[in-house]
Structure 1
Amino acid sequence: MNKTTDIAALAKDVQAGNRRALARAITLVESGRKDHREDALALLDALGTKKQALRIGLSGTPGVGKSTFIESFGLMLTGMGKRVAVLAVDPSSARSGGSILGDKTRMDHLARDPNAFIRPSPSQTQLGGVARRSREAVALCEAAGFDVVLIETVGVGQSETVVAQMADLFVLLLAPAGGDELQGVKRGIMEMADLILVNKADGDLKAQATRTCADYAGALRLLRKRPQDPDGFPKALTISALKVEGLQTAWAEMETLTDWRRDSGIWNVTRKAQASYWFEQDVRNGLLALLMEDPQTAERMKTAQDDVKSGRKSPTAAAASVLQPLRDLLGTRVS
């Protein structure tokens, strides 16, 4: 069987909703090998972009219960007859580069649901709380016929806003806490959130969760209204993922916002802007890869790094010495 037939067969299996084939396809697009990258591009081209799933980006503070929420929320959606894919990004060790990838063990009930698919991926060196090929993994899940794709980020941080460039809705999950919690969440991620869900609103924490929700609702009112939001959005709600309370209300709000954006045309405008953003990112990454493949540039890099380590040059001056020959070659003056 030749390569063309292999790619065609894999594309057919993915479109048929075969979860094992989908897992193989995601492994292919995540690979850094050059031949695998060529196959991945051929696969994505063969699949096209016919189906559009609802992409929901999900971020939250450590210990907030993201896995519990995803399992309860996912099971609720599959109970409605929807097919749900979960792309969970695990932090990678800066020392070893490894990741635990234990999301399936934390969502064992959802992992066994035939209408659900869970894929943990390492973040590697990628900033923004997502893996480098998360966007392509989302496209594969759409091609496989999933109705909802949940993209779980590494955790709350200023760079987590990158997930908003691949999601239709951005949900921020928070725990009941005092004023310090509100101070700890960065303004950037608050401005990106479409819905803030205060989890663990049950038992002794219910009253505190209600107060926390009110605090965030007040903070949201202070933010400038966004053109992609109808009146009342973004908003904050209380939920209990453990008790499965408030999830239907949260889903109803997501549907309301999604329907409004579709009807107003903002959905398509946003998708086009996201496609343009990722095009520029791919061009930048491709240019950097091409530079690193050039032997002369690699040698200049090594020399410059030695100069930086020895203190003969500052990092800025060393970087300029590497880039200057390229500027001269292009005939372009870059300030």
Structure 2
Amino acid sequence: MPEGHSVHRIARQFDRNFVGREVEASSPQGRFVEGASVLSGRVATEVQAVGKQMFLSFDDDIWLRVHLGIYGAWDFAGSILVDPTIASANGRMGQTNQRGTDLDDVRVMDAAGENSLTSIGAPRRTRVHVRMSEQTTGLADEGADWPPPVVGQVRLRLLTELTCADLRGPTACELQTPDEMAATVARLGPDPLVGDPAEGEERFVQTVRRKPTPIGLLLMDQSVVSGIGNVYRAELLFRARQNPHTPGREVPGEIVRELWRDWVRLLSIGVETGQMMTMDGLSPDAYRKAMAHRDDRHWVYHRAGLPCRVCGTAIVVEEAAARKLYWCPNCQA
């Protein structure tokens, strides 16, 4: 399931390519025909991401709510104005690109092992001629079909004169009134990139400290904190050396605060790079390697049976709320 950084990246893509523009909407799959007919011909006015959900507003106070869930993804095509802080080697946004980025091809890293795209002042415009997956990249020729042909089960197609966004496989795709949208957001836990992070920290700490639920489950509860999924959950707990089974109310307050502050850091890195980079203190070469390959990017996630990078103890995996939980039974004892 896409975690919070992916949804914020998608929102920024919509902000640059759709907000302020009239949009033609359709439902090639046929499962959102009525909603698409309401949106078609309206101007997109605002976009917000909160945790794993995105909200796109249109004229007359109509909001489109999208929750990608496990299988959802947005595919962008056409003339794409890319936010320099979220540049990617492909057109797909949603299902996290765990395969990594070919750094030599996209030139996103400088000699210091940092994302040099953040220093580029002007956005880049990229031409994409086909639906692009995590395995394909390319540039269009000027004779490419427009709009691009529909491929697969497209729940919703949003189209401007220059840019196309196709939504596939979402858990939720619905229209909301402003009150309904506000109520949805109110049910979500704090997101470091929405509102005041200090207020979000206090809300998170107070919620966790009164719960008997294990902290490993609380971090995945979107009403407690927004955006954390399976990868970030495992990595945050390891970085804090926190046992995932400890009830929230028994986790020391300073650890709870550090979990929030670490989430602030890791979310920002994820939005910037498009990768869930959770290891610190890497050399430039090690950082490049980690950015290109998931196996070199995480402390414990997806490392069941492998030695802990700190103590050598075998990483264990267990089921927690129907999701796999990875942790070190020594470092996180």
TM-score w.r.t. the length of structure 1 is: 0.23
Larger Rg: 1
* Bigger relative CO (Cα 8 Å, ≥ 6 apart): 2
TM-score w.r.t. the length of structure 2 is: 0.23
Comparing both structures, which one devotes a greater share of its residues to strand? 2
